[in-house]
Chain A
Amino acid sequence: MSKGEILAGFLAPHPPHLVYGENPPQNEPRSEGGWEPLRWAYERARKSLEELKPDVLLVHSPHWITQVGHHFLGVRHLAGKSVDPIFPNLFRYTFELEVDVDLAEACCERAAQRGLTAKMMRNPKFRVDYGTITTLHMIRPQWDIPIVGLSANNSPYYLTTEEGLDEMDTLGKATREAIEKTGRRAVLLASNTLCHWHFQEEPTVPEDMSQEHPQSYDGYKWDMRIIELLRQGKTSEVFRLLPQFIDEAFAEVKSGAFTWMFAAMGYPELPGELHGYGTVIGTGNAVMEWNLVKAGLAASASGPAANGRESALYGST
C-alpha cells in the first residue's frame, strides 16, 4: 500500500441556511434563495474538490459535542432525517452516507496512542449532526465520496481554550498518521464559522438579504484580519492570535476543527485561497482552501509531490 496523504484542507462552515437557500431535493423547506455569495463560494470549492479526486472526506463538526473523548463515526452506512434543533424551519434534510470505517478506526487508534481518549460510534441508529451534514452537502452534494466524521470534544470549553486546542492539535497529528498509514488520499473539512456573534431574532422571511449583515463590526474586523493573514500564508501568526480572536469575536474555531485541520496539514505557511465570505444571521463565514497538491506538498492524481518544497513551506509539525 502506498503512503496516504492529505490533498487539501477546507474551512467549510455549516450554516443550514446555505442548504435552505440552495433548495436541494433532500431538504423539505423551500426558499427563494439567499446567501448567494457564500453558496457561490462553495461552488468554486466543489470544482476544486472535483479535481483533487480524494478517496475520503474527513469532517470535524462542532455540533457533535462529546464530553468523554473524541468520537468517530464507525458504522459503514448511516441514513436518516436530520432536523436542525435551532433552525428546524430551514433544515429538515434526508441524508444517506458511507463511512470509511477502516480510516476512522485508524484515526481512533492513533489518537489513543497519542494519549487522547478516543471512541468509535458503532450504533447504527445514531443520527448524524446537522453540522456534519451541511458541510458535506455544501462541498459535495453528490454524496459519492466516503467520509469520516469526528466529534468535537468539549475540551476547549471544559478546560482552558489553550488546553482544549492542544488536544485538537494532537487529534490532527493522529489523523494525519492514520491517513498516511491507510494509504488514503484525503481532504479535510473544518466545519467552523469565524466570528460567531449573531442576531437573536430571525427575519420573517429568513432569506431576506436586506436583513443580513455582520452582527458586530468588531467581529467583522477580526474576521478580515484573520482572513488576510490566512491569504498571505501567515499561519503561525494566525495561531498566535487565535485565543484572542476566539475571545473577542466569540469565534467558533474554539470548538477545534480549524486547529485539527491545520495540525493534520502540518501548519503550512501556505496562502489560503478565499472562495468567498459572507454572513449568516450575522455570523462571519469564510470558505477557504489550502490546496497541498497545487503547492507541491502532495501528489496529484497523476503525479508525485514536489518534495523539495516541503521543508520550506511547512511550519512546526
Chain B
Amino acid sequence: MTIVSAFLVTGSPLHFLRPDNPPWKTVIDGFDRASRALAMSRPDALLIYSTQWMAVLDALWQTRARVSGVHVDENWHEFGELPFDMTVDTALANACVQATKAAGITAKGVDYDQFPIDSGTIVATRLLDPEGRIPLVMAANNLYHNTATTERIGALAAAAARSQNKKVAVIGVGGLSGTVFREQIDIQQDRIADQNDDRWNREILRLMEKGDFPQLDAKGLIYAQEARVDMGFKHYSWIKGAIGRRFFGARVHGYGPAYGAGAAVVEFRL
C-alpha cells in the first residue's frame, strides 16, 4: 500500500508557540496522538500541502535537499520564532514536478537558499515529526487552483510515490472555519468566534468520523462558503486526491480555536 496514513491538521503557529495555553491544549494533545500514529505507519516520506504556502504562477514543489532556518510568522511575531530543519525527498519531489507537467498543469521545482518556508508547513512537521526523521515532499497552494485541480495534484503525487515504490503519509495543512477575532483578545479566553462556524466544523468532523464520503462531497462547498473555510478547504481536496477518494472513517484527535478560527487534528482510517 502506497498511502500508509493521512492527516488533516491546522497550520496555525499559535498552538506550537503557546502549547500550554488552555484553549489550545486539545489541539496540541491531538498532535501528540497523531504524531504517534504517523510514526507507527512508518512512511518513507510525507506528502505535505499547506494552504499557507501560496503560489500564483505554477504548481510549486520544494526540491532543495535540505531547508533550514528560522521563520517569524507575519501575524504572530510576538510569540517567538519557528526554527526548522527539513530534509526533502528530492527524487520524489522532482517526480511530482514532472508528473504535474505531464498532466498539463504548469509546474516548477523550487531550489533556492533561504526560500521562505511557510508557518503551516513548519508547524505541521515540527508537531507531527518532532525529530524531523521523515523526508518531505512539499506542495504549494496555487491560489488559482480550484478544489478539483488540487485533488488532481494530490492524486499525481500519490501516483509518483507509487511508481517509486515508496510508502507515504499524506498531510493537508490548513484551518477549518475562518472567522477570527479582529481585535486583541486574552488568549486564555480563545474560543470559536462564531457559533454557526462551530456547528459547521463539528458537522464536517462528524461526517469524517463516519467516513460519509458522499455527504462530505455534497456539503463541502457550502461549508467552505458559509464557514469561511481556510482557502476553500483545498487541503482536504489534496488529501482526498492522494488517498483516491476513499477512507473508512476518521479519528478527530483534537478540535479547538485558533484566535476564533477552527483548528483540528484529524487522522483518516484508510
Q: Within the assembled complex, what's the spacing in Å between the Cα atoms of A121 and B57?
A: 30
For A198, the chain B residues whose CB sits under 8 A away are 56
For A87, the chain B residues whose CB sits under 8 A away are 57
Name B51-83 residues within 8 Å CB distance of A: 53-58, 70-72, 74-75, 77-78, 80-81
Which residues of B are interface residues toward A (Cβ below 8 A)? 53-58, 70-72, 74-75, 77-78, 80-81, 106, 110, 112-116, 144, 180-184, 259
Q: Within the assembled complex, what's the spacing in Å between the Cα atoms of A155 and B183?
A: 12
For B80, the chain A residues whose CB sits under 8 A away are 123
List the 9 shortest-distance A-B pairs measured between CB atoms, nearest first.
A123-B77, A126-B72, A88-B112, A81-B114, A117-B183, A123-B72, A83-B115, A86-B56, A125-B72
**Which chain B residue has the least Cβ–Cβ distance from A129?**
B74
Least distance between B174 CB and chain A CB atoms (Å): 15
Which residues of A are interface residues toward B (Cβ below 8 A)? 64-69, 71, 81, 83, 85-89, 92, 117, 119, 121-123, 125-127, 129, 151, 155, 158, 198, 200-202
| Cβ-defined contact, B54 with A85, below 8 A | yes
For B184, the chain A residues whose CB sits under 8 A away are 68-69, 117, 119
Q: Within the assembled complex, what's the spacing in Å between the Cα atoms of A198 and B53?
A: 20
For A155, the chain B residues whose CB sits under 8 A away are 182
Subset of 7 A-B contacts with CB under 8 Å:
A66-B74, A67-B180, A69-B184, A85-B55, A86-B57, A92-B114, A200-B144
Q: Within the assembled complex, what's the spacing in Å between the Cα atoms of A202 and B56?
A: 11
> Chain B's interface: helix, strand, loop or mixed, by majority?
loop
Least distance between B11 CB and chain A CB atoms (Å): 13
Q: Within the assembled complex, what's the spacing in Å between the Cα atoms of A274 and B113?
A: 38
| Cβ-defined contact, A86 with B55, below 8 A | yes
**Which chain A residue has the least Cβ–Cβ distance from B81?**
A125
**Which chain B residue has the least Cβ–Cβ distance from A126?**
B72
For A68, the chain B residues whose CB sits under 8 A away are 75, 180-184, 259
Known: A83-B115, A85-B55. 20 other contacts (CB 8 A): A66-B74, A67-B75, A67-B259, A68-B181, A68-B184, A71-B77, A81-B114, A83-B116, A85-B53, A85-B116, A86-B54, A88-B112, A88-B115, A119-B78, A121-B78, A123-B77, A123-B80, A125-B70, A151-B74, A158-B182
Within 8 Å by CB of B57, from A123, A158, A200, lies: A200
For B106, the chain A residues whose CB sits under 8 A away are 200-201
For B77, the chain A residues whose CB sits under 8 A away are 71, 121-123, 126
**Which chain A residue has the least Cβ–Cβ distance from B53?**
A85
Least distance between A145 CB and chain B CB atoms (Å): 24
For A201, the chain B residues whose CB sits under 8 A away are 57-58, 106
Least distance between A266 CB and chain B CB atoms (Å): 27
Q: Within the assembled complex, what's the spacing in Å between the Cα atoms of A83 and B60?
A: 15
**Which chain B residue has the least Cβ–Cβ distance from A66?**
B75
Least distance between A208 CB and chain B CB atoms (Å): 16
For A123, the chain B residues whose CB sits under 8 A away are 72, 77-78, 80-81
Q: Within the assembled complex, what's the spacing in Å between the Cα atoms of A288 and B56?
A: 27
- B54, B72, B75: residue with the most chain A Cβ atoms closer than 10 Å: B75
Known: A127-B72, A201-B106. A92 touches B183 (CB 8 A): no
Q: Within the assembled complex, what's the spacing in Å between the Cα atoms of A155 and B180?
A: 11
For A119, the chain B residues whose CB sits under 8 A away are 78, 184
Within 8 Å by CB of B182, from A67, A86, A122, A126, lies: A67
**Which chain B residue has the least Cβ–Cβ distance from A158?**
B182
- A64, A121, A122, A155: residue with the most chain B Cβ atoms closer than 10 Å: A121
